[in-house]
A and B are shown apart, each in its own frame.
Chain A
Amino acid sequence: MSLKFKDLLGLEHLDKKNLQEILNFVKTFKGLFKKSDKASVLRGKTVVTLFYEPSTRTRTSFEIAAKRLSADVINISVNSSSIVKGESLIDTGKTLEAMGADYIIIRHVSAGTPDILAKNLGISIINAGDGFHEHPTQGLLDLYTIYERKKRIEGLKVLLIGDILHSRVAKSNIWALTKMGAEVLVSGPSTLIPRSIENLDVKVYYNLDEAVREADVLNVLRVQFERQQENLFPSIREYVSLYQLTKEKLAMAKSEVLIMHPGPMNRGIEITSEVADTPNAAINEQIVNGIAVRMAVLYLLGAVKRGNASSN
């Protein structure tokens, strides 16, 4: 059983069958993780996390996932200033490959960097977030969390709230959910929702109340404060008044509505603490599922016979 790809670059190119296969494996690995057990499937393998952007949770999640599969893990944080100095991404990748890395898990400010590495290296590349492009393991863990709580994906209405334009989490969610038959709704300031999104059967609501009433799942995205400096919305205060998920807004939603957040949360900005801590929220489960998803991905890519595998 394998994915037939050596890399996980994005969810755009996976099909429903691939996604279903991954979901099935996540369940197994979640069981393993909860038992505080270790599997030996990646013993002797080296996993490198190569992060050009600061991250604590995603990097830690990958590290734990790899260690639970008995891999050796090396963490590299590259100061983004060295990109400016002209250090070649491809050279860095080739160096790590020569040192015996079996996987490179990369996060980068520029979209497409995992694709560039995958094209130039023979080892497995996993995208841990590239620019505004994709964050496939986040998309998978969100998908699994919904599946676990709702027992289905097809027919559900999933609302993404906030900055869709600059969100890689939103992109990966849209691909995963629409492929699995869910309906995706988005709500946020018009400056942060790309015009072209309606071509993809995604419904746009500028009014959050209307959107919240419709949805079975609310996925609240993190507000990036630099967007205000880029003049994409006038103030945090106005953002909060329009798009913060509050108890009042939650009261308009279906009673069994599921609330998610990819983290780290800005409590009191895009979501209030009361809402984040209700039983409807699955925010802590998302973190556990994240580790299980990453174990599944590492395992499935590792099962690929190198040389004849293609990139996804």
Chain B
Amino acid sequence: MRLQIKNIKIVDPSSQNEGLIGDIFIEDGKIVSKFSSNADRIIDGEGKIAIPGLIDIHAHLREPGQEMKETIYTGTRSAAKGGITTVFCMPNTEPVIDNTSVVEFIFHKVREEGCVNVFPVGCATKGAKGVELSEMGLLKKAGIVAVSDDGLPISNSRIMRRVLEYSKMFKLPVISHSEDKELSRNGVMNEGKNSTFLGLRGIPKEAEEIMISRDIMLADLTGAYLHIAHVSTAGSVDLIRQAKKRNVKVTAETCPHYFTLTDNDVKVYDANTKINPPLREKKDVDAIKQGLIDGTIDCIATDHAPHTQEEKSKEFDLAPFGIIGFETLLSLVLNELVDTGVLSFYEAISKMTSNPAKIFNLEGRGTLKEGNVADVTIIDIKYFYEFVKEKVVSKSKNSPFIGRRFKGGVVMTIVGGNIVWDLNNKFV
């Protein structure tokens, strides 16, 4: 199968290509410089932009165990619609991803039913209980790309030290969901003026920052690879910036909602604004943008966290944390960061392609260089649309962005040389 995309603007951060118009040649699932014989299919790329397929390093696909929220079938289709060709799935499934058979199950399901690449993140400790190291060596052999206990952060500093030390020899980054669970206990939103007047228990920013401080110190002690998940506060950005200056091996991600929304948006008691870490304040949003500009924050991930409508329509205190994110990732980045001049298109794309590929050692991905896997996303910046609930592909609809109008979005997603989604024909 030979697929040619003609006359398209190509933006590929790994090869410093900032937008030359040209053709992309795909043969047998790889990017090539020219075909062995005539093209089987030609796509007219005029007016569009081709980028390496997006890599989302933080998502919850919920399978196995919570299939009422999402499955590998629905989740990978939701990702494809969002232009995401590679998804990291977090290990808080049921059972958790702390042994090779669960990893194998996920790969099996992805092969059978998935339509984008999925790489599991393994537990850092057995059962994500924060007590005993997980079998990282075996898990790595089975295919995990990082370790994390995600929403159940390791509270014991000695265990966290061992996790960092042990993971180092496999070059497995440790993803830290940084939260001091005692300090954040019972909290449901950012602590501040809004939590006081909404009568909701607050989560201080320090609950995140204390853990980031500790983990940076332990990364320094051990020389391991630490990746800070979903950075939400100005203080966190500053801690990571200082650590990078001292050459600690730390990288970081944020999510679109942390540079788009604030705790003012919780005012309607809509549980689709209940997220952990919580939506913060304008000064945090500004600091996160600054961190994206100066490179303190390397990646933009979704923290796609599907929950059913029934769960999310409960009382705010009782509803679970999290929102879906695959289908709004690119448009939010374009509208909130690129159109406003915070990042160039090129810089913004690098945070979802080349940077994550480098941090997590994804060989042959995140770039359109010759010889690499043909994961390609095609964008139309003149595509105007409203994000409506009826068109959400994820099994869950818990997004605070329902009803939002966007300018610019994904029109085609190619995974391993196959068109898996296009705006006109949907799933192929």
Contacts and interface: CB of A to CB of B under 8 A. Distances in A.
A196 B310 contact: no
Contact of A171 (B199, B268, B316): B199
A132 B200 contact: yes
Contact of A110 (B191, B195, B268, B315): B315
A110 B193 contact: no
A112 B269 contact: yes
B308 interface: no
A134 B198 CA distance: 8
Given A112-B200, A133-B198, A83 B313 contact: no
Contact of B200 (A83, A89, A111, A200): A111
Contacts of B269: 111-112, 115-116
Contact of B313 (A90, A111, A132): A90
Interface in B50-85: none
A168 interface: yes
Given A88-B310, A196-B193, A200-B193, A113 B315 contact: yes
Nearest to A165: B196
A189 interface: no
Given A88-B310, A196-B192, A112 B197 contact: no
Contacts of A113: 315
A256 B192 CA distance: 36
A108 B316 CA distance: 12
B193, B199, B200, B268, most chain A CB atoms within 10 A: B199
B286 interface: no
A88 B313 contact: yes
Contacts of B310: 88
A88 B314 contact: yes
Given A115-B268, A115-B269, A199-B193, A131 B200 contact: yes
Nearest to B269: A112
A130 interface: yes
Contacts of A72: none
Given A165-B196, A196-B192, A196-B193, A89 B268 contact: no
B313 A110 contact: no
Contacts of B314: 88-89
A112 B196 contact: no
A196 B315 contact: no
Given A88-B310, A116-B269, A111 B196 contact: no
A196 B195 CA distance: 9
A199 B192 CA distance: 10
B192 A112 contact: no
Interface string A158-191: 0000000100100100000000000000000000
Contacts of A88: 310, 313-314
A168 B196 CA distance: 10
Contacts of A89: 314-315
Nearest to B315: A110
Given A88-B313, A116-B269, A111 B318 contact: no
**Interface size range of chain A in the complex:** 20 to 34
A73 B195 CA distance: 34
Contacts of B195: 194, 196
A200 B193 CA distance: 9
B316 A110 contact: yes
B198 A110 contact: no
Contact of B199 (A116, A168, A196): A168
Contacts of A168: 199
B389 to A, nearest CB: 16
Given A132-B200, A133-B198, A168-B199, A112 B315 contact: yes
Interface string A250-268: 0000000000000000000
B191, B310, B316, most chain A CB atoms within 10 A: B316
A78 interface: no
B199 A131 contact: yes
Contacts of B318: 83, 110
B198 A111 contact: yes
Interface string B233-271: 000000000000000000000000000000000001100
A199 B196 CA distance: 11
Interface string A116-137: 1000000000000011111000
Contacts of A171: 196-197, 199
Interface string B300-317: 000000000010011111
A84 to B, nearest CB: 9
A53 to B, nearest CB: 13
A209 interface: no
A162 to B, nearest CB: 15
B98 to A, nearest CB: 29
A112 B198 contact: yes
A87 B70 CA distance: 23
B193 A112 contact: no
Nearest to B200: A111
B199 A133 contact: yes
Given A83-B318, A130-B199, 7 more contacts: A109-B317, A111-B200, A113-B315, A115-B269, A133-B200, A168-B199, A196-B192
27 contacts: A12-B197, A109-B317, A110-B315, A110-B316, A110-B317, A111-B198, A111-B199, A111-B269, A111-B316, A112-B198, A112-B269, A112-B315, A112-B316, A116-B269, A116-B315, A116-B316, A131-B200, A133-B197, A133-B198, A133-B200, A134-B199, A171-B199, A194-B195, A196-B191, A196-B192, A196-B195, A200-B193
Interface of A: 12, 83, 88-90, 108-113, 115-116, 130-134, 165, 168, 171, 194, 196-197, 199-200
